[in-house]
Amino acid sequence: ENQSVRTDVVIIGAGPVGLFAVFELGLLDMKAHLVDILDKPGGQCAELYPEKPIYDIPAWPVITGQDLTDRLMEQIAPFKPTFHLGQMAEALERTDDGFWRLTTDIGTVIEAKVVVIAAGGGSFVPKKPSIPGLEAFEGTSVFYAVREMEKFRGKKIVIAGGGDSALDWTINLQPLAKSMHLVHRRDDFRAAPDSVNKMRALVADNKMALDIAAITGLEGENGILRAVHMNSAERGDYVVEADTLLAFYGLTMKLGPIADFGLHLHENLVPVDTEKFETSTPGIFAIGDINYYPGKLKLILSGFHEGALMAQAAFRYVFPDKKLRFQYTTSSSALQDKLGVR
In this structure, the number of other CB atoms found within 10 A of the CB of residue 281 comes to 16
Q: Which stretch binds ligand FAD (CB under 6 A): 34-42, 173-181, 196-204, 310-318?
A: 34-42
Q: Residues of 291-302 as b/e, b for ≥16 C-beta within 10 angstroms?
A: bbeeeeeeebeb
Q: Which stretch binds ligand FAD (CB under 6 A): 92-100, 119-127, 267-275, 320-328?
A: 119-127
Q: Is 16 in the site for ligand FAD (CB under 6 A)?
A: yes
| Binding to ligand FAD, residues 253-272 (CB under 6 A) | 256-258
* Interface residue with ligand FAD, options 8, 18, 113, 202 (CB under 6 A): 18
Q: Is 72 in the site for ligand FAD (CB under 6 A)?
A: no
Q: Residues of 118-134 as b/e, b for ≥16 C-beta within 10 angstroms?
A: bbbbbbbeeeebebeeb
Q: Is 307 in the site for ligand FAD (CB under 6 A)?
A: no
What is 168-234 written as a DSSP string?
A: HHHHHHTTT-SEEEEEESSS--BS-HHHHHHHHHHHHTTSSEEEESEEEEEEEETTEEEEEEEEETT
Report in angstroms how near the CB of residue 257 gets to ligand FAD at its nearest.
5
What is the CA angle 37-78-9, rounded to 5? 50
Contact by Cβ (8 Å): 86, 38? yes
Q: Is 22 in the site for ligand FAD (CB under 6 A)?
A: no
Q: Which stretch binds ligand FAD (CB under 6 A): 36-44, 93-101, 157-165, 215-223?
A: 36-44
Residue nearest to ligand FAD (CB): 120
Contact flags string 166-205 toward ligand FAD, x per CB under 6 A: ----------------------------------------
Question: How distant is the alpha carbon of residue 80 from its chain centre?
Answer: 19
Using the minimum distance from each CB to ligand FAD, give the nearer residue, 171 or 287: 287
What is the DSSP-derived secondary structure letter of residue 128? Answer: P
Q: Is 303 in the site for ligand FAD (CB under 6 A)?
A: yes
End-to-end CA distance of the chain: 37
Report in angstroms how near the CB of residue 220 gets to ligand FAD at its nearest.
31
Q: Is 124 in the site for ligand FAD (CB under 6 A)?
A: yes
What is the DSSP-derived secondary structure letter of residue 72? Answer: H
Largest CA distance in the chain: 75
List Cα–Cα distances, 148 to 1, 89, 170, in angstroms.
Answer: 13, 20, 14
User: Cα(146)–Cα(155) distance, rounded to whole angstroms?
Assistant: 13
Q: Is 100 in the site for ligand FAD (CB under 6 A)?
A: no
Q: Is 122 in the site for ligand FAD (CB under 6 A)?
A: yes
* Interface residue with ligand FAD, options 25, 28, 30, 89 (CB under 6 A): 89
* Interface residue with ligand FAD, options 123, 165, 170, 179 (CB under 6 A): 123
Nearest to 164 by CA among 51, 253, 88, 54: 51
Q: Is 38 in the site for ligand FAD (CB under 6 A)?
A: yes
List Cα–Cα distances, 195 to 74, 163, 167, 325, in angstroms.
Answer: 30, 10, 6, 53
Q: Is 292 in the site for ligand FAD (CB under 6 A)?
A: no
Q: Is 238 in the site for ligand FAD (CB under 6 A)?
A: no
Number of residues that bind ligand FAD (CB under 6 A): 37
Q: Is 120 in the site for ligand FAD (CB under 6 A)?
A: yes
Using the minimum distance from each CB to ligand FAD, give the nearer residue, 233 or 297: 297
Using the minimum distance from each CB to ligand FAD, give the nearer residue, 56 or 237: 56
Q: Are strands 123-126 and 251-254 parallel, antiparallel or unpaired?
A: antiparallel
Q: By CB under 6 A, name the binding residues for ligand FAD.
A: 12-18, 35-38, 43-45, 48-49, 54, 56, 88-89, 118-124, 256-258, 288-289, 298-301, 303
